[in-house]
Amino acid sequence: MKEKDKITGLTGRENLNAENELLKIKLKSEFGMKDMNSQLPAELENEWLNYIYNFEKLHKEAKEISIYEKLGKPEYKKIADLNNEEVTSELSRLLNLMEENNLILNFLCDYDDRIKYEFITEELFAEEIEDVRIEGMMTNFIYEEFHQNHEYDIKEAVSSYFNYFLCQEINEEHIC
């Protein structure tokens, strides 16, 4: 016979299932989650539900700070005060500092280091993000989401279209 809890009168498995159901109710009521059904064993489901609950709670309670603040308000020079060699060096320093703070800036195209440095110091630093630190989680930014590169977008759209078109198997549905 399985051992029952003296307070609830439930077995360990029943307690775990009840806790999982309670966590699902909390996720629905506090964060508006939809159906949280899974096929996981009760122990794994409990771990998963607790992870989601803690993650959502962390984000709900997080305050907004600028990227400049998140980086510890690093000293930097205005772009006009730097020569090309200094720009490259300072850009590298800032990108390394960002990576140390789990922030990544991607460029889909090649740009001059001056453009990159100016973007970071004059635009990206002002962006507000949640002050959340989760081990192994990175926050990514893409330059082209701030400054659209139409030539790149057109080339990608055409390339995607032709890749799709050329990779389709010809079957009776495609024959006119």
Of 155 and 113, more confident = 113
Question: Is 6 within the bounds of a domain?
Answer: no
Residue 24 sits in the same domain as residue 75: no
User: Over the stretch 90-117, which tens digit does the pLDDT of each residue have?
Assistant: 999 999 999 999 999 999 999 999 999 9
Nearest Cα neighbor of 113 from 145, 90, 96, 146 is 90
Residue 160 CB neighbour total at 10 angstroms: 10
Domain finish residue from 43, 61, 79: 61
What pTM, to 2 d.p., does this model score? 0.68
24: tokens are 């699902």
Q: How far apart are CA 152 and CA 143, in angstroms?
A: 12
Give the structural domain span for 30. Answer: 12-61
Q: How many domains does the chain have?
A: 2
Residue 93 sits in the same domain as residue 135: yes
Question: Is 108 within the bounds of a domain?
Answer: yes
Residue 22 sits in the same domain as residue 38: yes
Question: Is 120 within the bounds of a domain?
Answer: yes
Q: What is the mean predicted confidence (pLDDT) over 58-81?
A: 93
Residue 100 sits in the same domain as residue 143: yes
